[in-house]
Amino acid sequence: MFVALISHISTGVLAQADTRTITQTDGKPGWFSDWSKEDKALALNLGVGAAVLGWGFANWDYGSGGPRFQDEGWFDRETKEGGADKLGHLYTAYLFSHLFAGQYERWDFDKDQAIRWGALSSLGVTGLIEVGDAFSDRYGFSYQDMLFNTLGVAAGYLLWSVPELSRKIDLRVEYNPFTSGGYQSDITTDYERLSYLMAIKAEGFDFIENPYLKSLELHIGFRARNYDAYSERPDVDMRKQYLYVGIGLNLSKLLRPYVDTPVFNYFQMPYTYVPFTYQISGPP
């Protein structure tokens, strides 16, 4: 189960939460400014955890049964989402680790402390989601999901801790609203429109000097399609999995003279790259 919507909500919250002080209406420092950075971190973790559980009760049937465990499989075509949900878990844990670490730095944790605690916070939140799944008749605790949560946390720690590597590599998610097929009200499980990719950025390599080439990226991505249609019509099996390689534009670099934002290091805009797609399973 992919939880990017929660991550997206958290992105907006944390991006606006440069809260060394919270001011009152008269402009004087508020009560939050008296908290220690450790207390602020604890409050943040409790708040995000509560939001995750609230979303789970509202959308993922938490409390409907369990506890139960299930073997969801890995990337076999016959799995429920063809493996897309596993990459969703990896990406979400990766994103959470950076969201937490960024906020911890704003609260005066040093860089190493920020990502260390950010990684632990991410593992805690994504682990909480799996515990919630254990009490859902719709899902169940999946050790495959938890493994990919852990891999995502490890990737987040590595790319935050090694700036030279993060100059070269991004992990991203793409949501394309123009993909054909029925829409889901919960975009966190709308795998018909979700893709996951690694972007290798030319600007991170010093031997590339041409300014036009430095604005390009190499994408390596994965998609699973037609799984929703199969769940509705199992007599018509059009489930397909794709790998693709693409040449894209580095939007962060191109927009940097106008707005310096990390958003496009995490989210891939549709139609900003040329993909070369290879179908790895399913009917022609």
- Residue 15: its pLDDT value, please? 42
**Residue 18 pLDDT grade (very low, low, confident, very high; cuts 50, 70, 90):** very low
Residue 56 and residue 62: Cα distance in Å, rounded?
Answer: 6
Residue 202 and residue 267: Cα distance in Å, rounded?
Answer: 18
- Residue 5: its pLDDT value, please? 39
**Residue 28 pLDDT grade (very low, low, confident, very high; cuts 50, 70, 90):** low
Residue 1 has pLDDT above 70, yes or no: no
Cβ contacts of 205 within 8 Å, gap of 6 or more: 168
pLDDT > 90 in the chain, percent? 75
Per-residue tokens: 206: 């010093």
Q: Partners of 173 in the beta sheet?
A: 196, 267
Residue 219 and residue 248: Cα distance in Å, rounded?
Answer: 7
Per-residue tokens: 197: 């990719």
Task: Give mean pLDDT, residues 161-180.
Answer: 94
- Residue 142: its pLDDT value, please? 94
- Residue 231: its pLDDT value, please? 85
Which residue has better confidence, 183 or 231?
A: 231
Cβ contacts of 222 within 8 Å, gap of 6 or more: 83, 84, 87, 195, 196, 197, 241, 242, 243, 244
- Residue 9: its pLDDT value, please? 39
Q: Is 124 exposed, middle or buried (0-12, 13-18, 19+ CB in 10 A)?
A: middle
Residue 122 has pLDDT above 50, yes or no: yes
Q: What does pLDDT average to over the chain?
A: 88
Tens digit of pLDDT for each residue in 70-111? 899 999 999 999 999 999 999 999 999 999 999 999 999 999
Phi, psi of 136 (to 5 degrees): -125, 130
The secondary structure of residue 162, as a DSSP letter, is: -
Q: Which amino acid is at 67?
A: P
Q: Which amino acid is at 234?
A: P
Task: Give mean pLDDT, residues 197-226.
Answer: 97
Tens digit of pLDDT for each residue in 38-56? 999 999 999 999 999 998 9
3-state secondary structure of 70: strand
Residue 21 has pLDDT above 50, yes or no: no
Residue 153 has pLDDT above 70, yes or no: yes
pTM (two decimals): 0.88
Residue 32 has pLDDT above 80, yes or no: no
